[in-house]
Structure 1
Amino acid sequence: MPLTLTLTEGVIPAASQKEAVQRITNSMLKHHGLLGNKAMTPNVTAHVSVLPKNSTFSGGEEFSGVWMEWKVPSFAFAVRGIQLAHFAEATEIIRELSGGKQPIENIYSNVIHTVDGSWNFNGIAMTNAEIGEEIAKG
């Protein structure tokens, strides 16, 4: 379940990118009740893309932004309370790591749900039910 974290250069220090990924990942797992789950934890992956300051825009004008995008099975982020709690926490993580300089209105998030049966765990395309069985193992 990859997290794509895209940042305008300078929003957070390069040395803080790993911490951002770790904390956002832990937040996602925590709010789904899966923190420490041996099946789910290694299947939550991430990559960070840092874009030059002159290549990120809002309303056609250059600005500094942050985009957090999750690609997950359809059961993830399906509960409104989880959406609200996780994205509030993830937004605060970025704001904090920016030294309070990144405005929260320039921190964006979204979720893309995959087609049931297309999610790959351990080299096998699994349905939501099959993933649930793996998660239930702990």
Structure 2
Amino acid sequence: MPITLTVPEGLLSPEAEARTFSELTRALLKINGLDGNSFMEPNVVGTLNVLPKGHVFSGGKPAAAAFVELKLPTIALATPEAKHAFTEAATTILERAAEGRLSRDRIWTNVVYADDGSWGIGGRAYSNSELVDAIQHAAR
């Protein structure tokens, strides 16, 4: 389940970058009730895009801002409560990591859902029901 975090240079220290990504991963797993699941943990992947100052925008102007995008199967963060919980967790994680260089109103999150049957892991396309089966099997 890819997480894409985009920030401008200097917003997060190198130590905070790695810690932030780890915390976002843990939040996603926890909210979905998948902490410690041996199938899901290694499949929460992602990228950190650190762009040059002046290449991140809000209102058409360069800004200190952070963007978190999740690409998930439709079974993840499916309820409004789960989406709200992840948005709140991600915002808190980034605000804390930026150590005063970022305000909450400059942190955006969004979720993009993959079509059922198009989730590829290790060269195999999983349907939602196959993902659930793999997750449940790993929990045994």
Residue 121 of structure 1 deviates from its aligned partner by 2.3
1:101 is displaced (CA, Å) by 2.7
What is the root-mean-square deviation in Å for CA atoms of aligned residues? 0.9
Tell me by how many angstroms 1:84 deviates: 1.0
Query: 1:24 corresponds to which residue?
Result: 24
Query: Is there any run of 5+ residues in structure 2 with no aligned partner, and where?
Result: none
The Cα offsets for residues 66-102 of structure 1, whole Å up to 9 and x where unpaired, read as 0000001011111111111111011111110111331
Q: What residue number does 2:35 align with?
A: 35
What one-letter code is carried by the residue in structure 1 that aligns with 2:106? N
Q: Distance in 1 between matches of 2:135 and 2:38?
A: 8
Indicate conservation of the 8 Å contact 2:6/2:49, yes or no. yes
Question: Residues of 1 paired with 2:59 and 2:99: CA distance?
Answer: 25
TM-score (norm 1): 0.96
Q: Which residue of 2 aligns with 1:106?
A: 106
Q: In structure 1, what is the Cα distance between the partners aligned to 2:7 and 2:114?
A: 24
Aligned to 1:13: 13
Residues 37-64 of structure 1, C-alpha deviations (whole Å, 9 max, x = no match)? 0111111001100011111111121111
Identity of aligned residues (%): 35
| Structure 1, unpaired ranges of 5+ | none
* Structure-2 residue corresponding to 1:82: 82
Runs of 4+ in structure 1 deviating by more than 4 angstroms, as ranges, are none
The answer for the alignment partner of 1:72 in structure 2 is 72
Query: Under a length normalisation based on structure 2, what TM-score does the superposition of the two structures give?
Result: 0.95
| Aligned length, in residue pairs | 138
**In the alignment, which residue of structure 1 is the partner of 2:123?**
123
* 1:11 CA displacement: 1.3
